[in-house]
Structure 1
Amino acid sequence: MAFNTGLSGLRASSVDLDVTGNNISNASTVGFKGSKAEFGDLYASGFLGSGSNPIGDGVRVQDVKQSFGQGNISFTDNGLDMAIDGDGFFVLNNGGEVRYSRAGQFGIDKDGFVTNNQNMRVQGFVADDDGNLSGIQDDLQIETDNLAPKRTTNLRSDLNLDSRESVLESQVRNWNSLSVDDLRDESVTFEYDGQSSTIDIDADEAVSDIVGKLQSASGVSASAATSLPVGDMSDADFSTFRLTVGDESSPRDIDLDGVTTVEELESRIRQISDQSISASVDEDGVLSITHNSGETLRAEYENDSDPDFDESATGVVSINTDRTVTGVDSTSTTVAEAFNVAPERINAFNPQDQRTYNHATSTTIYDSLGNSHDMTQFFVKQPSPGGGVGTSEWSVYTQIDGEFVGGTDETPHRARFNQDGELQSVNGDPNGEILIDDWTPKDADGTPNGADGPPADGEEITTPIPDPPTSSAFVLDLGNTTQYGSEFGVNDQQQNGYATGRLSGLDVSDEGVLFARYTNGQSKSLGQVALASFNNTNGLSPVGETTWVETFESGQPIIGAPDTGTLGSINASSVEESNVDLSEELVNLIIAQRNYQANAKTIETSDAVTQTIINLR
């Protein structure tokens, strides 16, 4: 009896040593769950009972039970490594066999599938081409193709227009018929915002110098030209003519050899070396010669039958300015009268002149090929349509790559605001939406680049733009625009287009969603890791490689997304370490060793007693 009891103790202690040794050997195994041997005593018993003083028959191993407690989470350098913080198992496809694991050391195989280090494919919920997650479970795969571009179909501008801005009025003065001779020996002063520029013109000033002096004044532009109408020469016999053109200092003889028409004469004049001289012929055959620098222009021609012709013209200076003109020191009545003409007050929008608009903002949009284009919105405050009570109005101009769109080259959009600074409507639309349907995407040289252009004539465009879009039409949404008494500011400006992009990295969220990052700044969900839980986790059967399989005792798996129900969340770039406490296992090893020695002592003592009996004589 004692032999059997001691032998059962040896077997049990040996199993305990095996379990403890296995725990110690896997102390550094990612996702490993430690085990513990559970024992039960043995008693001899019959159908009718075990007697009044039963003696035990030893011990037996009832079960080796695994502990599925949480292990420590440590960070790694691999973005696809995942650790489960809480309950649940990764679902793995091992060539058709489904396994479950807590080891999240994942990578990508040659086909782009997410696998563990035994090439078992990770299961998850796949996403469609637009990145929308579905409930379909399959192998997770990382697509390495370029992300296709997406054209802009909606641009939302959330901004504030400063209600304190005044209605712009420009003072524009134009003098287009001031003789160069009249301007000589004159003095003109241009004033603006308390500053002044005085231009003194000498009596013998060259025309180019006069123009240069005028343009040196802030806000002043000037040019000069001389036009000399020669007359009707449609029936002239040019073979007998001699023609000299130019200013007094550098006359030019025109070669008339072969000239038979006034049009040929015009072409011959334009071919002379002095490129500042040109010629034109009107529909009545009248020849006009122009000196683009404004110098005195002379034309002489003679033939055998007609008397000599000699005619000259002095250049005319054109001046344009938005400055006030004062202090005209003039000996010419013509100049004095010209500068005393009242300025014309206008509010002409000019995108090149910042003085003609109150605010502007730009953003990048994309065509169907993924090419970027600059869209600029200009805002010009207008007189209140309500006489300044309860309503304010702004004109909105739109340009793409410097060209007007939305018909604003002819008529601007009208944005109206109520007394609280809130948008009432844009072009009568209370939603503040503007449909841009006249944009033709172009290259830098101004030619169409092959992307989708405006909708065909008669094609009806509805908003929002349906998917997939078939033209370059898009919606400019100003619905969140306000007009408060604060500085102009762009609070938010978003558009839904982007250029093509290459895969640059992967991210994993706490919900186990795999995001692909692209070089164009976009991200797209590729799928979501699936987790499984069981009603009886201890019923799972370990099959090696830190994996388990489903058994009858475990029940069927309950599969769902991370961080839902009782399932844990995902820690990216992390792994779950073994939950083995090495210190505890070393103590257990000592205990198992002593138990083994003690049971061996029982057998040794029984042997000694038996030997004593055998030695009796």
Structure 2
Amino acid sequence: MSFNIGLSGLYAANKALNVTGNNIANSATTGFKASRAEFADQYASSVRGTSGRTQVGSGVRTDAVSQQFTTGNIVGTGKSLDLAIDGDGFFAMSDNGSRIYTRAGAFYSDKEGKVVNASGATLQGYPVDANGQIVRGALTDLKIDTGNLAPRATSKVSETLNLNSTQAAPALTPFDPSDVKTYNYTFNTDLYDSQGNLHQLNQYFVRDTANNAWTMYTTVNGRNPADPTNTTPLVNTLPFKSDGSLDTASMTAGAVAGGMSIATDKTFKMDNWVPAAKNAAGAWASNGAVANDGGVGLDMLATTQYNAASATTAKDQDGYSTGELTGLTVDQSGNLFANFTNGRDKVIGQVAVATFANMQGLTPVGGTAWRESYNSGVAVVGEPDTGTFGKIAGGSLEDSNVDLTGELVNLIKAQSNYQANAKTISTESTVLQTIIQMT
């Protein structure tokens, strides 16, 4: 019996050496999870009437080789498609139609634009609809669209500015955009037409002290917005209350003030802007190839008249020119953004994350990947950074969670165990030889 006990000890020590060696070999493998050999003692079937207090075990057996799913160090790489999960979860991958799961997030774009790993498995996630909204239904292959971002014509401009209440009216009249002495303040804002051509919205402000108001003169590219053949600006009035806020009650909704209509929310609207450009003769003329359907709204509700320098503190407009793809970024919610040369970002998909009731029940399939099994339970798939799902670290990879120092200590322990069990067999052999010599 002692031979069998010692032999089981050798098997166990050898198993521990194999597990430790595998951990050490993968100490630099991205997303690798260290394993641990777990052992249990063995007892032969007891003979009826034998006291349990006098039973001797029959050795040791390997009870399990369990993987440790603690998170490894997350290290920044700067590569846009390198992803790591900070917390619980796995990346869902399609391997020739079969679903596998991994923590190794070194991804690339293949010739079809699909996001894949080195083995060719495709990263799974949620697609976007025609409006750029995430469709959270069935998982699909994430794909990078390398096409240009189509331009968008400006439909709304929002401005926040203050007009100095202590300024006097200009000394010179009438208004002349080429003479700075005929107005108090001016600034420009970019506008885009349907082809992404850039235009300049020019606004000039003249103090009207008698009426506690300011006269606003508006041109586009220095021309009349509705008629590019002349330079006559649109003329509007900005009335103010005594507290310095805009007097919207004095602005009649539906009225056409100096060429701009006033909407029900008291914003202006440039209904008749005609995108224009210089023709072959060098003269300004309407460009019939472009349009700006619906006009351009001008929100100036945040305008104030305080005793401070006239200044524009914020402005925004929703148009943009054609954009070429320059890069990709992924936020902690897994949203995959395409970055374009026009400064715009576009959501092109969302990375999905999967968790399991029993991660120890997953079946390893190599390539730092696992498959679902009966023991693991069914995969629960969802959005990163929600509930128990970990968040995504873009431009980063998760290191192996192997503790190299601890594994080297385990090597020493396994070696000692192996030697000790070999000594048990050697001693048993010596005893048996002694018995034989006595007969």
Q: Structure 2 length normalisation: TM-score?
A: 0.90
Deviation at 1:155, TM superposition (A): 0.5
The structure 1 segments of at least 4 consecutive aligned residues displaced by more than 6 Å after TM superposition are none
Residue 33 of structure 1 aligns to which amino acid in structure 2?
K
Name the structure 1 match of 2:403: 581
Q: Tell me the equivalent position of 2:391.
A: 569
Q: Residue in 1 aligned with 2:55? A: 54
Within 1, Cα distance between the matches of 2:385 and 2:308?
A: 45
Of 444, 447, 450, the match for 2:285: 447
Matched, 1:99 2:100: yes
Alignment CA distance shift 1:488-1:142 (3 Å): same
User: Secondary structure of 1:498's match?
Assistant: coil
1:419–1:4 CA distance, 2 compared to 1 (3 A): same
How much does 1:448 deviate? 2.5
User: What pairs with 1:467-478 in structure 2 (closer than 5 Å)?
Assistant: 471=293, 473-478=295-300
| Structure 1 residue 48 displacement after superposition | 5.5
- Give the superposition deviation at 1:516: 1.2
- Paired amino acid for 1:498: Y
Q: Which residue of 2 aligns with 1:364?
A: 190
Partner secondary structure for residue 426 of structure 2: helix
Other-structure match for 1:229: none
Structure 1 residues 16 and 356: CA distance shift in structure 2, 3 A: same
Q: Distance in 2 between matches of 1:49 and 1:96?
A: 59
Please say if residues 219 and 234 of structure 2, whose CA atoms lie closer than 8 Å, have aligned partners that are also in contact. no
User: 1:462-504 CA distances to partner (integer Å, 9 max, x unpaired)?
Assistant: xxxxxxxxx1611011111111111100011110000001101
Query: Which residue in 2 is equivalent to 1:78?
Result: 79
Deviations 1:307-344 (A, max 9, x none): xxxxxxxxxxxxxxxxxxxxxxxxxxxxxxxxxxxxxx
In 2, are the aligned partners of 1:453 and 1:472 still within 8 Å (CA)? no
> Is 1:397 the equivalent of 2:217?
yes
Contact kept? 1:367, 1:451, Cα under 8 Å: no
Q: Which runs of 5+ in 1 are unaligned?
A: 171-346, 386-391, 455-470
Q: Report the counterpart of residue 290 of structure 1 in structure 2.
A: none
| Equivalent runs, 1:163-174 vs 2, <5 Å | 163-170=165-172
Q: One-letter code of the match for 2:371?
A: V
Q: Tell me the distance in 1 between the aligned counterparts of 2:328 and 2:222.
A: 38
For 1:412, the equivalent position in structure 2 comes to: 235
Q: Distance in 1 between matches of 2:376 and 2:429?
A: 46
- Which deviates the most, 399-408 or 371-380? 399-408
1:597 and 2:419 correspond: yes
Kept in 1: contact 2:35–2:67 (CA 8 A): yes
Q: Residues 49 and 526 from structure 1, CA distance in 2 versus in 1: closer, same or farther, beyond 3 angstroms?
A: farther
Give me the whole-angstrom Cα distance separating, in 1, the residues matched to 2:97 and 2:234: 67
Counterpart selection for 2:181 from 352, 355, 358: 355
Partner of 1:551: 373
Contact conserved, 1:367 with 1:472, CA < 8 A, in 2? no
Counterparts of 1:482-497 in structure 2, within 5 Å, are 482-497=304-319
The alignment status of 1:42 with 2:13, answered yes or no, reads no
Residues 44 and 57 in structure 2, CA contact (< 8 A), matched pair in contact too: yes
1:412 Cα offset (Å): 1.7
Deviations 1:355-387 (A, max 9, x none): 2222111011000010000110111222544xx
Paired position in structure 2 for 1:377: 203
Task: Give the Cα–Cα distance (whole angstroms) in 2 for the partners of residues 439 and 362 of structure 1.
Answer: 16
Q: Deviations over 1:223-264 (max 9, x none)?
A: xxxxxxxxxxxxxxxxxxxxxxxxxxxxxxxxxxxxxxxxxx
1:435 to partner: Cα distance: 1.1
Q: Alignment length, in residue pairs?
A: 419
1:406 CA drift (Å): 6.6
* Counterpart-to-counterpart distance in 2, 1:129 and 1:406: 33
RMSD: 2.0
- Alpha-carbon contact 1:531-1:560 (below 8 Å) kept: yes
Question: Are the counterparts in 1 of residues 154 and 192 from structure 2 also a CA contact under 8 Å?
Answer: yes
Counterparts of 1:99-118 in structure 2 under 5 Å?
A: 99-118=100-119
What CA distance in whole angstroms lies between the structure 2 residues aligned with 1:135 and 1:355?
A: 59
Deviation at 1:610, TM superposition (A): 2.0
Corresponding residue SS for 2:174 = coil
Gaps of 5+ in 2: 254-263
- Corresponding residue of 1:216: none
Q: Which amino acid aligns with 1:163?
A: S
1:395 counterpart letter in structure 2: T
